[in-house]
Structure 1
Amino acid sequence: MLSFSLKNNFMQQKMMRKVIYSLIPIILASIYFFGWRSLLLMTWITIWGCATEYIFEKKYGKGKVSEAVIVTSILFTLTLPPSTPYWVGTLGIIFGVIFGKAVFGGFGKNVFNPALVARAFVYVSFPQPLTIDWSNVSNSFLGGFTRYMTSSVDAIATATPMLNFRETGELSNYIDLFLGNVSGSLGETSALLIILAGIYLIYTKTASWQTMTAVISGFVGLSLILRLIGFTSVPNPLFGVMSGGLLFGAVFMATDPISSAKTKEGKWIYGILIGAITVIIRGYALFAGGIMFAILIGNTFAPIIDEGVKYYKKSKKAKRKKVTA
């Protein structure tokens, strides 16, 4: 019989708590834009995420449940459309915690970002609720605070800014993109709140500013090059940065301290790689967003990038000693 208590079974992590603090305005905004269902879905997914890690940790006797799993559950939920079925969210977080974290040995040993592993799994397994069923944004004074969930979007082509651009070539209003008054995933619509969260994480030294800057630089740089060459399938950089979850991915996902590059130079290479791959996926693949798969690809190369940087530094240092000897 498994017994549970917060003191004996929960690993307190101040860094993870700061991430949660930075997410509070975004969580409140998700309720305002889409209704209380967003919070209920998040609570439900978090319960299953904690339960999954708890069972695994207890079975293999590897320690306590980490606060990181709460962050994973919240981030995963915020990447989902408002109407995502509860059972899809449940399967997603269970898969993400087990195959994105537990199989590698638990906290601190995962190669991939568990929240993105969960998102990728439900994205390819349940395409309709993840790519077709979107919800309108509430425009009333109290917004979604007065309802369970907002109404469904009628025209799929114009459901999100990126889908609208792909189908019609039209760009959404920049003010709406900045404030979050657009349809999309629960936590990815408001550029303003994500930027403020990023500033807080940088100020509290919780997340790497190098990685954030590198992702955006890589994205803007390649977008400009392709636009100048004449590739119309790639939107202008400003629109691209403010839509499709790029900012959310750059601030919260790419900066995961476990699955991202850890050397100073490696963070720049890793981030630029993610930004560039996002442009390629958005412009030429079937996926409208791209940042999710780009970060997972970046996770794959992060250890190699760090080893390459260390080897280069070691070789350079050895040559310098040889010259001065």
Structure 2
Amino acid sequence: MSKYFLKQKMMRTVLIALVPILLAAIYLQGWRVLFLTLINLAGALATEYLCERYIFKRKKISEAVLVTAVLYTMTLPVSLPVWISLVGIIFGVFFGKMVFGGFGKNIFNPAIVGRCFIYINFPEPLTIQWNGVTQLGDFPGGFAQWILPHIDDVTGATPMLAFRNHNMTTAVTDLLFGQVSGVMGETVKVLILLAAIYLIAKKVASWEIMAGCAVGFVGLSLILTAMGFENVNAPLAGILSGGFLFGAVFMATDPISSAKTTPGKWIFGIIIGVVTVIIRSFALFSGGMMFAILIANTFAPIIDYGFTRAKKAKAAKKEAVS
């Protein structure tokens, strides 16, 4: 494998953390989850290989592209048409990564770039058409099905849409164990939390960014609720709804597109949490994590530059005094 891929142990650790989430998604929604994952892996590998081989004249591709493909897939509804899924991953890898020069040079998270592109261009299959999920005790569940059937708008709405459109709240236990409709990777919050612990223990993901996301989200949610805004979800329900947890653990902590300095990581995370609440509460979109991370990616270099410059100035002043 090293013949074709750059060795990136960190990326393999992320893939290991994603395996239980992928298996849970298959159990809950059927084997089409794996099918879309394999299709997107093929599209991502082909795109990066062609760019590396014929544009940059390099022989190896990054293992990070595997992570990009799986993360991208986990942000999609299971019933999304294959061609739309392929368009998204090709767009994300090429315009989110390769146009900047390849691995380590991209400003934005390529998985989110791809998801954002198809979200804007093909909103209906990403926001309206949802499938049911297997109940926890109904083994073998999705392991015996290709895909679970579509469900209607009211009973099948995601927790975010149910709250936004019908002021309906979802039980915390259902949110924790994936007993709700939604995209493939965001439903089982318990597994995402366990993945966060694993990634932090392996020193692969920044706990400061995750904590910053939570602080920004909870802080603004409490402020807006105290001000009397009824369209703001309760902090716990908001964190467990939609893609907030998945985004905070796997997307926001991308070491390339996130802030690098310790104070910068906190500010980076807080920006994501705050912007997510604003978009969810006042914008047209019921989600917001995707756009919040892209906005924070834009400011990450500026945030780091400010703290790095201040640190250098302080060191120079101390040296001059001594």
Q: TM-score, normalised by structure 2?
A: 0.96
**2:132 alignment partner in structure 1:** 136
**2:163 alignment partner in structure 1:** 165
Give, in whole Å, the separation in 2 of the partners of 1:88 and 1:320. Answer: 57
8 Å CA contact retained: 1:34, 1:149: yes
What CA deviation, in whole Å up to 9, does each residue of 1:163-191 have, x standing for no partner?
A: 00001112101100011111000000111
Give, in whole Å, the separation in 2 of the partners of 1:106 and 1:52. Answer: 11
Displacement of 1:13 in angstroms is 1.2
The one of 14, 17, 20 aligned to 2:12: 17
Displacement of 1:285 in angstroms is 0.4
The one of 68, 71, 74 aligned to 1:75: 71
8 Å CA contact retained: 2:4, 2:60: yes
**1:249 alignment partner in structure 2:** 247
**2:43 alignment partner in structure 1:** 48
Map 1:2-41 to 2 at 5 A. Answer: 6-41=1-36
Check if 1:258 corresponds to 2:256: yes
Displacement of 1:315 in angstroms is 2.9
Displacement of 1:289 in angstroms is 1.0
The one of 84, 91, 116 aligned to 2:87: 91
Give, in whole Å, the separation in 1 of the partners of 2:241 and 2:123. Answer: 20
Q: Aligned AA for 2:5?
A: F
**2:110 alignment partner in structure 1:** 114
Unaligned runs of 5+ in 1: 1-5
Matched pairs, number: 319
The one of 272, 277, 299 aligned to 1:279: 277
Give, in whole Å, the separation in 1 of the partners of 2:316 and 2:6. Answer: 42
Displacement of 1:138 in angstroms is 1.4
**2:199 alignment partner in structure 1:** 201
Unaligned runs of 5+ in 2: none
8 Å CA contact retained: 1:218, 1:271: yes
Percent identity reads: 56
Check if 1:123 corresponds to 2:125: no
8 Å CA contact retained: 1:32, 1:142: yes
Give, in whole Å, the separation in 1 of the partners of 2:179 and 2:79. Answer: 17
Query: Greater CA deviation, 102-111 or 154-163?
Result: 154-163
8 Å CA contact retained: 1:45, 1:90: yes
Give, in whole Å, the separation in 1 of the partners of 2:290 and 2:151. Answer: 23
Give, in whole Å, the separation in 1 of the partners of 2:115 and 2:286. Answer: 15
8 Å CA contact retained: 1:132, 1:156: no
The one of 300, 303, 312 aligned to 2:310: 312
Q: Aligned AA for 1:84?
A: L
Displacement of 1:258 in angstroms is 0.2
Query: Greater CA deviation, 310-319 or 175-184?
Result: 310-319
SS of aligned partner of 1:8: coil
Give, in whole Å, the separation in 2 of the partners of 1:237 and 1:254. Answer: 19
Displacement of 1:313 in angstroms is 1.9
**1:211 alignment partner in structure 2:** 209
Displacement of 1:284 in angstroms is 0.4
Displacement of 1:158 in angstroms is 4.7
Give, in whole Å, the separation in 2 of the partners of 1:43 and 1:156. Answer: 32
**1:58 alignment partner in structure 2:** 53
Q: TM-score, normalised by structure 1?
A: 0.96
Displacement of 1:62 in angstroms is 3.1
Displacement of 1:156 in angstroms is 5.4
Q: Aligned AA for 1:249?
A: G
The alignment yields a C-alpha RMSD, in angstroms, of 1.2
**2:184 alignment partner in structure 1:** 186
